Amino acid sequence: MDNDNIARILLRIARLLEIKGENNFKISAYERAADSIRNTAEKLEEMDQQTLQTIPGIGEAIAKKICELNQTGALTFLQKLESEVPPALLDWLELPGVGPRTTALIWRTLGITTLPELYTAAQEGKLHTLPGIGEKLESKILQAMEQNPSS
């Protein structure tokens, strides 16, 4: 698995952890590790756990995960996270004004997990009834989704 794919997976983990509501330290650790990996010229797939830990931002836990990715092409921790937080919610983060907290609020309160469901909820005026989401944000979401139907 190349460095770019590993960095992408670590960022995916960070976003899922944000939506899940994990602590900022843990989220930042995955973001720092991903940045560090993108700036590393050496191939991580050729490194053992000890060598990985010499890269700034990569501690023991993340080094173990990188080794698992390199050995199996999959990551148990990511699979567990994706079973807890619907991965489709990550697409919502591309919408203007929709961050991890807003995503989590809508998902947990309204039980919706897809962009079409989000669009319908916004059309029906259900979003602005949630705390922290006003009519202005609801309108921005609708407008963004109408301008780019693939989002």
Domain of 95, CATH number, reads 1.10.150.20
C-alpha span between 54 and 60 (Å, rounded): 10
- State whether 72 and 94 are in the same domain: no
Output the pLDDT for position 149. 66
Output the pLDDT for position 150. 62
- State whether 16 and 64 are in the same domain: yes
Structural domain harbouring 35: 3-84
- 7-29 confidence digits (pLDDT tens): 999 999 999 999 999 999 999 99
Number of separate domains in the chain:
2
- Please give the model's pTM, rounded to 2 decimal places: 0.89
Domain end (from 44, 59, 84):
84
C-alpha span between 96 and 108 (Å, rounded): 20
Output the pLDDT for position 34. 97
Output the pLDDT for position 148. 77
Structure tokens at 24: 């900022």
Output the pLDDT for position 1. 87
Compute mean pLDDT per 10 residues along the chain, 151 residues long, and list them. Answer: 95 96 96 96 93 96 96 96 96 92 95 95 95 94 84 56
Return the H-helix or E-strand segment holding 84.
helix 76-84
Helix (H), strand (E) counts: the chain: 8, 0
- State whether 14 and 80 are in the same domain: yes
